[in-house]
Structure 1
């Protein structure tokens, strides 16, 4: 039976926020963190990966505070990356998890880096995909907002199916993922909480609450000795590939994987290959998968239209 949001969805009260997450499988915990797009959730970003990997690992896809079914937050008072990292730590506390592997896409990748800097003793494997990291001025890409970020902002202001078509188109390399069903689904999901849309816009740009100073974040990442994997799409129009190239040069025990013909959503556009990459990385770095019927690399149930990322 195929997994669904309803069959895997759970709510938990932590010391600060009520958090919504999706969980499936048994074994070593792998926590997946979604991106910043309007209407994004853990399930929307990672449903195919949760389903594809749950035969081997305890897969957990979290809705960050201010998204999906988790509590509303105002990012003008606290830095969102630090909020998101703390939410992971509090979730782990409630679930009794001493350590976990983190997989973060885009904003979730930035939260993974922040988690590494803030709670390194709770992180066993660091995996980011399309994470922004710019400790110094770019030399290969233009300054200012990328094309993808500009469209994200416009879609937050006016989350119509038409704007979501532009948003999804900029996120992927393969236009087959851009469907009417997908665009309407994302629009409907975003409009469930006008407060989340408003709060994101309030905290964007100059009003974004300051986080850990860049030099301190960079130093803490450089000090991390755990296994790390940085993933990027060669055709990413939201976050330049240069950020992941910088990360692999900074973090000692790390590797970089670039997907060709891939935009900002490698976990969706190349789901089977992405699942196999994560599985291989975990096993090569000390994780023994649990038993079960699932197998990484096997066909994932559902069509492209079911994958509607974040």
Structure 2
């Protein structure tokens, strides 16, 4: 599990990023990192074209001066390997599969303990890792995490339906991507054209499209993400929940069980904000995350 690294400068985000391809027992995992300090692993959501960089590149300049930020492409996404139907069927589903890979990545990079931050599908992975290996987690930031949430309204939600539709029917298109992004955000005018084009182009990768059909079939077999809410009491790390009040993918009402069952938890709700707090409320997100994580580094 020896990481292979290269370095390149991203003029838009500011810091230079080091790239690792870590060979795990499940397959290669792609990681980009920058900064120094306590490691902060940032896990992206599960939408079409998602990757660590596409979700969080706008937050790097604020976080890398204080933390060693690692942007991980989870299995099935970005430049990481794409699990087969057999791998997901024989294992623990995508969440458990991702946790196994993440623990091997941390070991390969010499990281014993780290802060974890995850959104949606990545929030499920962060939560599951905090449950399985609490000794590896310093502090936990969850943005509308899958698995730990109990919906009070109809499911699938509007955002979940758009994700299911994207690769079905006539397949990917810029129009579909624009519709999907509008559901992710409260204010559609905040969608940068480069974000739309980048994620659309990434979604055209045939391996990514094949994986999405595998993932949706796995969700159907397992009736969605694993019910991580059943084991919320196993989370030992201080936890910050970040939620857009107007999230149409993982709705705010479902946060109540997390507030009740996680021992050390706090919640910040953003008005006029959808599923992507890190983009729509970037400066507040950066400040809250910095302050919360730095409390644990004192």
Q: Structure 2 length normalisation: TM-score?
A: 0.87
Matched residues in 1 for 2:72 and 2:17: separation?
15
State the SS of the aligned residue for 1:31.
strand
Structure 2 counterpart SS, 1:197: helix
Q: Deviations over 1:37-81 (max 9, x none)?
A: 011000000111222200111000100011000111125423001
2:195 aligned residue: 182
Name 1:167's counterpart in structure 2: 180
Q: Please tell me whether residue 195 in structure 1 is matched to residue 210 in structure 2.
A: no
SS in 2 for 1:67: coil
Q: 2:59 aligns with which of 38, 45, 49?
A: 49
Across the two proteins, how many residue pairs are aligned to each other?
280
CA offset at residue 6 of structure 1?
Answer: 8.3
**Secondary structure, counterpart of 1:97 in structure 2:** coil
Distance 1:59 1:30 in 2: 5
Counterpart position of 2:261: 250
Give the 3 Å change call, closer, same or farther, for CA 12–279 of structure 1 in structure 2.
same
8 Å contact from structure 1 (residues 102, 112) kept in 2: yes
Tell me the distance in 1 between the aligned counterparts of 2:70 and 2:192. 27
Contact 1:133-1:246 at 8 Å conserved across structures: no
Residue 93 (structure 1) aligns with: 107
- How far has the Cα of 1:201 moved from its partner? 1.9
Deviation (angstroms), 1:211: 7.3
Q: Shift in Å at residue 177 of structure 1?
A: 2.2
Native 8 Å contact 1:31 1:101 kept in 2: yes
- Cα drift, residue 11 of structure 1: 1.7
Contact map agreement 2:147 2:229 (CA 8 A) in 1: no
| Whole-angstrom distance in 1 between the partners of 2:173 and 2:225 | 31
- Structure 2's unaligned 5+ residue stretches are 1-10
Q: Quote the Cα distance in structure 1 between the aligned partners of 2:15 and 2:98.
A: 21
Aligned to 2:139, the other structure's residue is in SS state: strand
Distance 1:181 1:35 in 2: 18
Q: Contact 2:38–2:68 at 8 Å: present in 1 too?
A: yes
Q: CA deviation at 1:245?
A: 2.6
Matching residue of 2:118: 104
Q: Deviations over 1:58-110 (max 9, x none)?
A: 00010001100011112542300111112221110001111111000000011
**Contact 2:147–2:225 at 8 Å: present in 1 too?**
no
Contact 2:124–2:148, Cα closer than 8 Å, also in 1: no
Give 1:73's match in structure 2, choosing from 79, 83, 87: 83
Matched residues in 2 for 1:178 and 1:186: separation? 12
CA distance in 1, matches of 2:33, 2:183: 29
TM-score between the two structures when normalised by the length of structure 1: 0.84
8 A contact 2:139–2:239 mirrored in 1: yes
Q: Distance in 1 between matches of 2:13 and 2:196?
A: 22
Change (3 A) 1:25 1:135: closer
Summarize deviations over 1:268-287 as a string: whole Å, max 9, x none: 11111101101111122x21
